[in-house]
């Protein structure tokens, strides 16, 4: 009997924490939001940075990678412009997901 009480001490807080959101999702048919896109593709090999939080968190690593691997690009504010299609695709393959 004591092992049941010990198990309930672990399970009850988890149930109390997660059940309301699970029930609400079932009742309202609400699904969790999909991950946010990092970039919005614009014409002429231009990317608009859509997820600024992700960008700020990873900017140093991205800048280092771009300087090491790309030659023909420009970063101004929230816009990345690529003057070479191969570099544009290389950037997307590395950083889109």
The length of the chain, given as a count of residues = 97
Same domain membership, residue 43 and residue 8: no
Same domain membership, residue 17 and residue 53: no
Assigned token pair, 50:
């859509």
- Of 78, 43, 44, the closest CA to residue 59 belongs to 78
**Higher-confidence residue: 20 or 73?**
73
Same domain membership, residue 44 and residue 16: no
Q: pLDDT by residue (tens digit) across 75-88?
A: 998 999 999 999 99
- Of 50, 46, 39, 36, the closest CA to residue 87 belongs to 46
Query: How many domains is the chain built from?
Result: 2
Same domain membership, residue 82 and residue 43: yes
Would you give the DSSP letter of residue 71?
S
Same domain membership, residue 28 and residue 61: no
Same domain membership, residue 52 and residue 28: no
| Domain that includes residue 48, residue range | 39-95
Q: pLDDT by residue (tens digit) across 1-28?
A: 566 666 667 666 766 676 666 665 565 5
Same domain membership, residue 53 and residue 69: yes
Same domain membership, residue 26 and residue 44: no
- pLDDT for the residue numbered 64: 95
């Amino acid at each position: 009997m004591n092992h049941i009480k010990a198990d309930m001490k672990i399970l009850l807080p988890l149930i109390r924490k997660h059940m309301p959101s699970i029930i609400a999702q079932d009742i309202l048919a609400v699904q969790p939001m999909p991950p946010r896109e990092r970039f919005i593709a614009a014409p002429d090999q231009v990317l608009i940075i859509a997820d600024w939080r992700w960008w700020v968190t990873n900017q140093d690593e991205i800048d280092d990678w771009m300087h090491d691997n790309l030659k023909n690009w420009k970063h101004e504010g929230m816009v990345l412009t690529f003057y070479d299609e191969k570099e544009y695709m290389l950037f997307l393959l590395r950083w889109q997901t």
